[in-house]
């Protein structure tokens, strides 16, 4: 059983965006979840992973970036995107003050969350979770987008598929290793950037969602235990 609340919050006292809080009765933590560049908070993946996490008693706070709220196709400039992440985290912390807060997102949403964290804008957050970190443009391997991660002082969980065209694992693995023991890389065999799997993989998309959620559950629970010691 979950409480569902449709909300709005302001960004920099200028923009107002929509949000959706999905709060299971026995929530153990809250994930502030940002959408990717091309689809908003109600995209099928965003809805599916939020519902799956709710089954594992993890609450989610999904929200729109201003450009998506306004129906524009081109993402906002980075300062506005990271300000939106910070405002979403602050709003979520006020709404559910008793839960440990994590933040992250799908693709661009995850990267903007990590950039906000690198700028020390997410004081309420215990750790970051990335569903398909967009390390580079499709088929153009690079590590430039990961340079700021060295400035992040929070534990990080990377959830990546082996068929993700936006994250060459031969580049991402050493990056995660360089970030130290607080960083975890979980590989989803056969999954692409959208976490779809081919039929011949022997797995279904629903099984992938369950794996993503259970991994998040185990990781957040471990950090929650450390926090209460």
pLDDT tens sequence for the chain (229 residues): 779 999 999 999 888 999 999 999 999 999 999 999 999 999 999 999 999 999 999 999 999 999 999 999 899 999 999 999 999 999 999 999 999 999 999 999 999 999 999 999 999 999 999 999 999 999 899 999 999 999 999 999 999 999 999 999 999 999 999 999 999 999 999 999 999 998 877 789 999 999 999 999 999 999 988 765 5
Question: How many other CB atoms are found less than 10 A from the CB of residue 106?
Answer: 28
pLDDT recorded at residue 23:
97
Among positive and negative, which fits the CA dihedral 158, 62, 140, 206?
positive
For the chain, which domains are there? 2-228 (3.40.50.1820)
Name residue 106's beta-bridge partners. Answer: 131
The whole-model pTM stands at 0.96
Q: Which residues contact 15 (CB under 8 A, 6 or more apart)?
A: 66, 69, 80, 84
pLDDT recorded at residue 14:
86
pLDDT recorded at residue 107:
97
Local structure of 39: helix, strand or coil: coil
pLDDT recorded at residue 229:
56
Q: State the Cα–Cα distance between residues 78 and 65, nearest whole angstrom.
A: 11
Q: State the Cα–Cα distance between residues 124 and 127, nearest whole angstrom.
A: 9
Residue 152 is classified by DSSP as -
Burial (CB count <10 Å: 0-12, 13-18, 19+), residue 24: middle
Give φ, ψ of 66 to 5 degrees.
-55, -40
């Amino acid at each position: 059983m979950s409480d569902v609340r449709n909300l709005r919050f302001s960004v920099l006292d200028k923009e107002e965006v929509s949000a959706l809080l999905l709060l299971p009765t026995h929530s153990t933590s809250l994930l502030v979840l940002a959408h990717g560049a091309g689809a908003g908070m109600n995209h099928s993946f965003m809805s599916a992973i939020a519902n799956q996490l709710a089954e594992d008693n993890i609450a989610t706070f999904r929200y729109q970036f201003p450009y998506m709220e306004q129906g524009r196709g081109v993402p906002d400039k980075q300062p506005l995107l990271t300000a939106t992440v910070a405002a979403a985290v602050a709003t979520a912390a006020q709404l559910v003050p008793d839960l440990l807060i994590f933040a992250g997102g799908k693709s661009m949403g995850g990267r903007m969350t990590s950039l906000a964290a690198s700028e020390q804008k997410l004081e309420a957050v215990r750790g970051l979770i990335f569903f398909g970190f967009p390390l580079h443009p499709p088929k153009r391997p690079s590590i430039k987008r990961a340079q700021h991660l060295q400035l992040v002082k929070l534990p990080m969980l990377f959830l990546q598929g082996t068929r993700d065209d936006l994250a060459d694992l031969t580049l991402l693995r050493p990056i995660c290793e360089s970030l130290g023991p607080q960083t975890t890389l979980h590989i989803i065999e056969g999954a692409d950037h959208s976490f779809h799997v081919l039929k011949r993989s022997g797995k279904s998309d629903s099984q992938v969602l369950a794996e993503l959620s259970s991994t998040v559950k185990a990781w957040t629970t471990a950090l929650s235990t450390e926090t209460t010691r």
